[in-house]
């Protein structure tokens, strides 16, 4: 064995061994012949046109599709954020989708600067039904698609190339026919997707799209959207960029074509594929908030928009309250956003490593010094801080979550001790909030905080407050006809009062009851679990509440334990109110 000049043995290079997996069943995607590609030298300098397909592609992939009420909530969020093109459903495939589109139109819920889009296959009865759904809208787009890849032509639809082209052109003729019959007063647009574009022959995709345009006749004031989906992601992102640039060079009427991207995330590179596709000349992007959609999902519109923002480019979408966006999407979809999700996850602005925390702390202190010297707020300085690609304040987050100190560094941290020693499974944002309280005590007391002292701090902060409110008794709780009602006795600043309320659950009913005393409370998050097993088991409830209204509102967590989970939940609401006000 040889040695280095320092007296240590030379390290051999580790070698991976052959895996037992049947990799020989698969073939690499062939490269695109584009030796003079120009996209690698291009830069993204502005936001593309965005289309949200949360209400169509995102919704159809949910285990439990959205109810009408949740669809309306999602639509309102998308409008509020600034999306101007929204695909609202597949009305010919679902009566629920048809009814939702009609509600948007008939209730005048679509702003004048928003265009809705609806998807259809190339069958005549479906196209007519689709056109009927848009009747009366100010502006609407029919989006027609058919699969063009060889595997789908051969196995799924059993058509040759000519028959595939005929499906697309005949479908376009029918769209124009029924648009003329039903949509004479609508600002009408047309979108065509050669589905499975990334697995199709490029020359054939161009042939199909050119044939469609021969029917549609694009020109000045008569755009066509050609949507080029990575329906299934099959290659590296640079290949998608090559496909987009090749298509853009060869398609007819390019000046009247909006080339649209619709990447899925099967290989985990949808974001990169989209960004390279924009560099290759695409004009428009379709995706979903937080990457919802079939299988691994559509490209994530939040990550794409915030990536632009982090490069000093206006995304033309408002992400300034990222937590509210996340809460709404989680409510509408019934699916959680991962704690590590870019820009929006609970942990993305948090460092557990001591060296990371130290670097971030020093970076923030440096910004404070620069701001003081310049006589301006930190928010007006160019952003530059270790480990933080953006200022968390710009998306409604706080620095406290970023620089919280783990008083049990190396021993699992505050959250670990609370769970292992006290059986409390604190939600992520409560961990952040409580860590700030712990930090206050470590700064004042010094030294290590053990499990007993940690419990004392927690109890005093969350379990021991009785001002201004204290729950004395749950008089009655009942449920009928889908509505819950509750009557309880509380002490309000020392005066006992009986309050009653209604809602869609005990907590909602209790919040309604408290409004009668002048307490404005909105529940943002809720969690519960058993602390022990058996007939005398205790339950723990955690409630995150916004207490107050407007600029005077305060967000605080409340915690309570009780043998009765309903009582624990109500006590937790009281705890949040007392902490916010007291």
Condensed to tens digits (0 to 9), the pLDDT of residues 525-557 reads 999 999 977 667 899 999 999 999 988 999 999
- Same structural domain for residues 479 and 439? no
Are both 170 and 55 inside the same structural domain?
yes
Q: For residue 395, what is the enclosing H or E element?
A: none
The rounded distance, in Å, linking the Cα atoms of 53 and 19 is 39
- The arithmetic mean of pLDDT across residues 9-35, rounded, is 94
Side-by-side strand order, sheet with 521-530? 521-530, 539-547, 554-562
Residue 543 lies in a domain: yes
* Residue 406 reports pLDDT greater than 50: no
Same domain for 356 and 294: no
26 assigned to some structural domain: no
- Chain-centre distance of CA 503, in angstroms? 27
- Residues 148 and 183 occupy one common structural domain: yes
Take residue 110 and report the two structure tokens written for it: 């679509």
Q: If pLDDT is split at 50, 70 and 90, which confidence band does 229 have?
A: very high
- Claim to verify: residue 145 and residue 221 sit in the same structural domain: yes
The CATH number linked to 535 is: 3.30.160.270
User: How is residue 545 written in tokens?
Assistant: 């509440």
Spatial contact of 537 and 531, defined as CB atoms under 8 Å apart:
yes
**What is residue 410's three-state secondary structure?**
coil
| Paired strand residues for 353 | none
Specify whether the CB–CB gap between 540 and 527 falls below 8 A: no
Range of the domain at 550: 465-581
Q: Is residue 196 assigned to a domain? A: yes
Whether the CB-CB separation of 582 and 565 falls below 8 Å is answered with: no
What span, in angstroms and rounded, lies between the C-alpha atoms of 213 and 194?
13
**For every residue of 77-108, which 3-state class applies, written as one string?**
HHHHHCCCEEEEECCCCCHHHHHHHHHHHHCC
Residue 337 · residue 290 · CB < 8 Å: yes
172 domain-assigned: yes
Write the burial class of residue 172 (CB in 10 Å: 0-12 exposed, 13-18 middle, 19+ buried).
Answer: buried
What's the CA gap between 577 and 554, in Å, rounded?
9
- For position 92, what pLDDT does the model report? 97
Residue 21 in any domain: the answer is no
Give the Cβ contact number of residue 502 at 10 Å.
12
Same domain, 193 and 223: yes
The full DSSP string for 2-25 is -B-TTSPBPPPPP-PPPPSS-GGG
Res. 509: pLDDT tops 90:
yes
Does 182 count as an annotated binding residue?
A: no
- Looking at the structure, do residues 77 and 173 belong to the same domain, yes or no? yes
pLDDT: which is higher, 388 or 406: 388
Number of domains in the chain: 4
What is the reported pLDDT for 405?
44
pLDDT score, position 408: 38
CA distances from 543 to 1, 79, 259 (A): 63, 29, 46
Give Cβ neighbours of residue 554 (< 8 Å, ≥ 6 apart). Answer: 546, 547, 548, 580, 581
In a domain, 151, yes or no: yes
Question: 349: number of CA atoms within 13 Å, CB side?
Answer: 25
Q: Is 99 annotated as a binding residue?
A: no
Please check if 394 is assigned to a binding site: no
In the Cβ-directed half-sphere of 260, how many Cα atoms lie within 13 Å?
A: 27
Whether 298 has a binding-site annotation, put simply, is yes
Look at residue 277 and tell me whether its pLDDT is greater than 70: yes
pLDDT in tens, 122-140: 999 999 999 999 999 999 9
Are 199 and 132 in a shared domain?
yes
Alpha helix positions (H), 375-501: 399-402, 413-422, 428-445, 451-458
- CATH label of the domain that carries residue 63: 3.20.20.70
The pLDDT of 326-333, averaged and rounded, is 98
Report the chain's mean pLDDT, rounded to a whole number.
93
Give residue 450's pLDDT: 75
Q: What CATH number should be reported for the domain holding residue 453?
A: 1.10.1220.20
Q: How far is CA 175 from CA 130, 168, 209, 237, 424, in A?
A: 9, 11, 15, 33, 59
* Residue whose token pair is 């953006």: 390
* 35 within some domain: no
In whole angstroms, how far apart are CA 303 and each of 271, 317, 365, 575?
A: 7, 12, 28, 36
In terms of domains, do 306 and 444 share one? no
- Same-domain status, 151 and 293: yes
Instruction: Please tell me whether residues 291 and 362 are part of one structural domain.
Output: no
573 by Cβ neighbours in 10 Å (0-12 / 13-18 / 19+) ranks as: buried
Does residue 109 sit in the same domain as residue 215? yes
Lowest mean pLDDT segment, chosen from 112-121, 226-235, 243-252, 473-482: 473-482
Task: Enter the pTM of the model.
Answer: 0.84
């Amino acid at each position: 064995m040889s040695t280095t000049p320092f007296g240590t043995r030379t390290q051999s290079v580790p070698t991976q061994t052959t895996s037992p997996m049947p990799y020989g069943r698969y073939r690499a995607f062939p490269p695109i012949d584009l030796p003079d590609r120009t996209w690698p030298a291009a830069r993204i300098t502005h936001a593309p046109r965005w289309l949200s397909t949360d209400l169509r592609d995102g919704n159809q992939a949910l285990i439990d599709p959205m109810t009408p009420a949740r669809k309306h909530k999602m639509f309102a969020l998308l409008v509020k954020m600034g999306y101007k093109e929204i695909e609202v459903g597949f009305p010919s495939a679902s009566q629920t989708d048809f009814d939702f589109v009609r509600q948007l139109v008939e209730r005048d819920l679509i702003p004048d600067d928003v265009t809705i889009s609806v998807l259809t296959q190339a069958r005549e009865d479906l196209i007519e039904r689709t056109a009927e759904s848009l009747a009366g809208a100010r502006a609407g787009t029919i989006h027609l698609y058919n699969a063009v890849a060889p595997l789908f032509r051969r196995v799924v639809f059993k058509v040759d190339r000519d028959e595939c082209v005929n499906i697309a052109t005949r479908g376009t003729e029918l769209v124009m026919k029924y648009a003329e019959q039903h949509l004479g007063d609508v600002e009408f647009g047309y979108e065509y997707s050669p589905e499975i574009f990334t697995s199709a022959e490029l020359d054939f995709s161009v042939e199909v799209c050119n044939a469609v345009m021969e029917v549609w006749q694009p020109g000045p004031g008569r755009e066509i959207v050609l949507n080029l989906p990575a329906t299934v992601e099959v290659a590296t992102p640079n290949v998608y960029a090559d496909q987009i640039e090749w298509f853009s060079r060869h398609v007819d009427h390019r000046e009247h074509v909006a080339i649209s991207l619709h990447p899925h995330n099967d290989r985990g590179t949808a974001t990169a594929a989209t960004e390279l596709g924009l560099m290759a000349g695409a004009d428009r992007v379709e995706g979903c908030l937080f990457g919802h959609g079939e299988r691994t999902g559509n490209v994530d519109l939040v990550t794409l928009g915030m990536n632009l923002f982090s490069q000093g480019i206006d995304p033309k979408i408002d992400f300034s309250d990222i937590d509210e966006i996340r809460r709404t999407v989680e409510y509408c979809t019934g699916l959680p956003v991962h704690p590590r999700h870019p820009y929006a996850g609970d942990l993305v602005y948090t460092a557990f490593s001591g060296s990371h925390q130290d670097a971030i702390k020093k970076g923030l202190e440096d910004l404070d010094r620069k701001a003081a010297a310049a006589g301006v707020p930190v928010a007006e300085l160019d952003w530059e801080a270790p480990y933080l690609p953006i200022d968390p304040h710009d998306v409604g987050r706080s620095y406290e979550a970023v620089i919280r100190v783990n008083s049990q560094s190396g021993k699992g941290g505050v959250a670990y001790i609370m769970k292992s020693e006290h059986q409390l499974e604190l939600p992520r944002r409560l961990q952040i909030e409580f860590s700030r309280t712990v930090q206050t005590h470590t700064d004042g007391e010094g030294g290590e905080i053990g499990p007993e002292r940690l419990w004392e701090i927690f109890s005093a902060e969350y379990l021991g407050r009785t001002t201004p409110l204290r729950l004395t008794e749950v008089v009655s709780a009942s449920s009928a006809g889908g509505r819950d009602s509750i009557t309880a006795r509380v002490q309000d600043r020392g005066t006992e009062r009986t309050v009653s309320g209604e809602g869609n659950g005990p907590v909602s009913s209790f919040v309604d009851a408290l409004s009668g005393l002048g307490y404005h409370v909105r529940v943002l998050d809720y969690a519960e679990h058993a602390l022990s097993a058996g007939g005398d088991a205790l339950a723990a409830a955690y409630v995150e509440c916004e207490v107050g209204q407007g600029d005077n509102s305060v967000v605080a967590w409340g915690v309570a334990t009780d043998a009765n989970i309903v009582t624990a939940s109500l006590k937790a609401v009281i705890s949040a109110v007392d902490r916010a006000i007291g």
